[in-house]
Structure formats: C-alpha cells, structure tokens
Amino acid sequence: MPEISPVMTSMADSWGVHPYHFWLRGQQPPEPVTHEPMTGMWNIFGYPEAAEVLSNPQIFSSNTARLLPEAGDASAGDMTQMDPPDHFKLRRLVSSAFSRKVVADHEPQVIELANQLLDEASGKDRIELVNDLAYPLPVIVIAEMLGVPSSDRHLFKGWVDALFEQTQQFSFADDDQRQRDVEEGLNRVRPILEYLGQHAAERRRSPREDLLTRLVQAEVDGERLTDTEIVNFANILLIAGHITTTMSLANTVLCLDTHPEQQRAVRADPSLIPAAIEESLRLFSPFAASGRVTNEEVELGGKKIGANQMLYVWLAAANRDERQFPNPHAFDVSRSPNPHFGFGHGVHHCFGAPLARLQVRLALKVLLDRFPELRRDPDNPPRFMPSPNMTGVTSLTLLV
C-alpha cells in the first residue's frame, strides 16, 4: 500500500498551500467537530459527521445567507443557498443539459479542443498547464453551453481570481468585520453579474438555443425568474462549470508527477485514468469547504450545537479521515471504493460532475499521449489558490 508521500507533505508550504489546510500536511484534526470562537463558526472535519450534515437539509440548511442581513436578496437564484423543494425546482431547469447522454456528446469537442490548445502551446520545451489547457478548456465548453462568448475568458479569469483571493476566514463573531466582508464580496462579484445581466437582456430580445435563454424563458411555479435570480444562477453555472474542472485536471497531473510509480501505472493502463482523477479529487478536493446553518439545536460529533449556527463542512479534511479511508494521505489509484466528497454530497452533489469528469479524463489522456516525458519543472514550483476554501493549483509548469 502506498505510503504518505514525503514530497506532498513536506512541500505544502513552499507550494503556497493555505496555512489552515493541515490535512495537506499529513495532519489530523484534534476532534471531528470543533468551535472556532474567533470566527464564531463550527468546523466539521470528520467524514461521518460531514455526511450527516450534507445528507440532512431539514436540520442543516444551505441558506447561510440568512445569517447575513447585510447581503439583502443578493443570493436570490443561487442554488448553493437553496434547500428542497426550491432547490430541486431550480436545478431541474438546466439538469437535462448535464445528463450523461448529453455530456457524452461533448467528447469529440473536448478532444479536439484539448489538442488545439496544446497545438497553440507547442514549439516550446515547457507548458504552463493551467493557462495553456486546464483553464481555457472547461471555460470554452461552459461558455458555449451558457451562450456567452468564450473569447471573453480573460475577463472571466480576472473576475473569478478576484472572488477567491481572500486569504482569511469569514467571521461571524465581529459584526463590523462581517459587514465589511459582505460588502467586499458583493463588490467582487458585481462585474460578472453585470456582464451576465447584459447577455440575459439580449436573450430576451433575441432568444437562442443556449442555457441563458432557457433561464430567461423559464418559469417556476408559474412565475418567471427575476433578473437577480437569472444572473446568480448563470454565475453559478459559469464559475462551477469550469473551476472544478480546472483545478481537478491540474491537481491530478501534480499528483501523478509527485508519484512517478503511479503515473507509470496509469500510462501503461489508461483505464486507470478515471481512478486517478477520483483519487485526486479526494486528496486535493477543489472546493475544500461547504457552508450550512442549523435550523434547530442538534448534537453532532458529541457536541451540542444551537440553532442558527454557522457550520463549515470541510470536505477536504473529511476526505482524509482515517475512519473512512485507510492510509488517507497516500495517493493510490487502486483505492476502491472511493466515496469522497470531491463533488459534494447529498442534494447539492454537483450536477455538472459528469461533464467535469469527462473533460478531465479526455484532457489527461491527450496530455499523457502527446508528452511521454511530461514532468514538473523543478525550477518553477506549483502554486495553489490563496483561498482557505479552495484547494487548487493556479500555476503548474511542465517540461515536455
């Protein structure tokens, strides 16, 4: 059985991994459920405790915005903030576009696009994986599905990077700081919402066969979505539709590079590529945390938690819980079963997961086929996102 990689754990700091991410340093939490007085939040680190929270929306609500009166109706239409049955109603509006059959039809496009992007980056002795492939590939696919110009992807990247540049944890303990954090967050998301609002207005005048038109024309309980609901929904599709794929592809390549014996196994047997992706999703979970708020007093992990308390479910830490995963800090492409929370769990399991998996699988196959000597540039260490809530490579230079 693979051991904990000394490279993975010892290089965490030099790679720019967030200081809070103790699990990326091979450490375990002192308890599966803890309270953090400085932020006023409860941290859920354990796997069974996380599963309980994510599986029970009646007690653990996704509507964390209700604790932020400063935000007003800014989260209207944000599926990540909704509980059943409203969540299901909104999700159904676009779920058919992400069915396995429809997703499978994207395969030729993804292969062609991956090769095209790598062709554009050819002629050099190295590539920068994120900029050259991992970012543009999923952005082009989701932008075309949504109906916005993929040529605007440089705008998307700037806006999305700004959303996740916050290095400190959000605090519910300090009212003044909370208000400043909310205002800052709203300012960061405003440019992308205004951009999507302009395209939504154009769809009202000239409908097309795209997801944005579907949202503009949709009715829920006999009523059309408001402008705020439309742009927030579209924003979730655009951001979630590419960022998980971007991070998963880059993270998987980093894991394989750091474990050459596993990379050799995958190269010798490409049928192991899906397993390598799943193990990367477990080991480096792109969305490290998911918020919930208690509807009532509850006992969890031996702790009593009152009503209207903010919970941070640390999916990335739960995916390293030794009670669920033997040798949890090892990267093991033979791990089976692998019931990780890399795409969430319960009613909010990512409905775009099939598309993300397809894109990462095909892009990784193209990458390994084209570059048999692919390896990390020792003079350019990988860098990770600065946000405590994300685990993703933002820069990975590879020698080809």
pLDDT digits (tens, 9 = 90+) for 244-296: 999 999 999 999 999 999 999 999 999 999 999 999 999 999 999 999 999 99
Question: Do residues 248 and 360 lie in contact, with contact meaning Cβ atoms separated by under 8 Å?
Answer: yes
Angle at the Cα of 356 from the Cα atoms of 354 and 357, rounded to 5 degrees: 65
Residue 3, pLDDT above cutoff 80: no
d(CA 390, CA 255): 17
Ranking 19-28, 170-179, 281-290, 318-327 by mean pLDDT, the lowest is 170-179
191: three-class secondary structure by DSSP: helix
Parallel/antiparallel/unpaired status of strands 126-128 and 397-399: antiparallel
Question: Do residues 328 and 266 lie in contact, with contact meaning Cβ atoms separated by under 8 Å?
Answer: no
pLDDT at residue 303 in the model: 97
pLDDT at residue 6 in the model: 53
- Residue 347 has φ and ψ, to the nearest 5°, of -65, -20
Residue 312, pLDDT above cutoff 70: yes
Parallel/antiparallel/unpaired status of strands 223-224 and 126-128: unpaired
pLDDT at residue 60 in the model: 98
Q: Kindly report the average pLDDT of the chain as a whole number.
A: 92
Counting residues of the chain whose pLDDT is more than 70, the rounded percentage is: 97
Residue 2, pLDDT above cutoff 80: no
Residue 1, pLDDT above cutoff 60: no
Q: Work out the average pLDDT over 186-212.
A: 95
pTM: 0.94
